[in-house]
Amino acid sequence: MGVPAVETHDLERVYRSGRSTVAALAGVTMGVERGEFVAVMGPSGSGKSTLLNIIAGLERPSAGVLRVDGEDLAALDEAALARHRARRVGMVFQAFNLLPRYRVVENVALPLAFAGVEPAARHAKARALLERLGMAARAEHRTNELSGGELQRAAVARALVADPAILLADEPTGNLDSASGATLIGIFEELNAHGQTVLLVTHDAQIAAHAGRIVRMRDGRIAD
């Protein structure tokens, strides 16, 4: 077996506010193998989104070890962490987080733009992904012309455009109707079937059931 996609040891994240401290992660040790589809489940405040954000390089852990695709994130400076976000992980948010003033194809190509890929190449890649996700007809549209399901598919395309080692999704169906949610999960399954590692955070057991493995969290720890 090769290098795991994600590997954590005693990962901690403590938030301080004045004198009080809140441990969002209180020693998380877990791993995600390449090609796995893992769902992290837990109630609100269990630390699942914090775990995902730390793996995504959006925030730093207070203590512990985190390796993504073999790279120790603690050793990375801000610029290297930005490269990690651009190339090693792809993130899908509940709120889509697309830029409304850009066309869909430009939104999808954005990580490649920040990675220094020239426009023709990055737009070709973005169009290919949009086609794969059934969004080819929407490539030139603005985001305000898209439905919730389409927005989230565009967001998935953006997360995949740089061929990340792992696709991270934080409650991706949270803002979608059940039909769109089901389509999205179908896409995740199909991507995983083609070898894409997926780490999904959800509080919805029905969504989590589509994953190959479920990790439950409670009070900042792995519950099982």
Partner 1 sequence: MRWADLFAMSLGNYGRARLRSVLTTAGVAIGTALVVLLIALATGAEDNVRRSVFSIGDLRLVTVQPFQPGANGLSAVPRTITDEVVAQLRRIGHVESVFRQFDAPLGMIVEGGDDATIRPQGIEPNAPVDRGDLLAGRHLALGDRAVAVVPGNIARLIAPNVASAIGRRVTMRIGGAVKLGSTRIGGSGTPRDYGVTVIGVFDEQASGTSVRIPLDDALAAGADNRGLTPDAIKQSTGYSGIAIEADDSTNVADIVRGVQELGFSSFSLKQVIEQIDQGFGVFRGILAGIGGVALLVAAIGIANTMVMSVLERTREIGIMKAVGASPRDIRTLFLAEAAYVGAFGGIVGVALGIVGGQVIERIIRNLNPRTNPGPIFVVGPDLILGAFALAVVVALVAGFLPARRAMRMSALSALRYE
Question: What is the contact surface with partner 1 in residues (CB under 8 A)?
Answer: 53, 56, 58-59, 78-79, 82-83, 85-87, 91, 93, 97-99, 101, 110-111, 113-116, 118-119, 158, 162
Nearer to partner 1, 164 or 181 (CB): 164
Nearer to partner 1, 156 or 208 (CB): 156
Nearer to partner 1, 22 or 99 (CB): 99
Residue among 23, 22, 31, 85 at smallest CA distance from 54: 85
Q: Report, in Å, the least distance between residue 205 CB and partner 1.
A: 26
Q: Report, in Å, the least distance between residue 224 CB and partner 1.
A: 28
Q: Report, in Å, the least distance between residue 112 CB and partner 1.
A: 9
Distance CA 112, CA 199 (A): 22
Q: How far is CA 183 from the centre of its chain?
A: 17
Nearer to partner 1, 111 or 149 (CB): 111
Helix (H, G, I), strand (E, B) or coil at 199: strand
Place of tokens 């190449």: 121
Residues found in the chain? 224
Cα end-to-end span (Å), the chain: 24
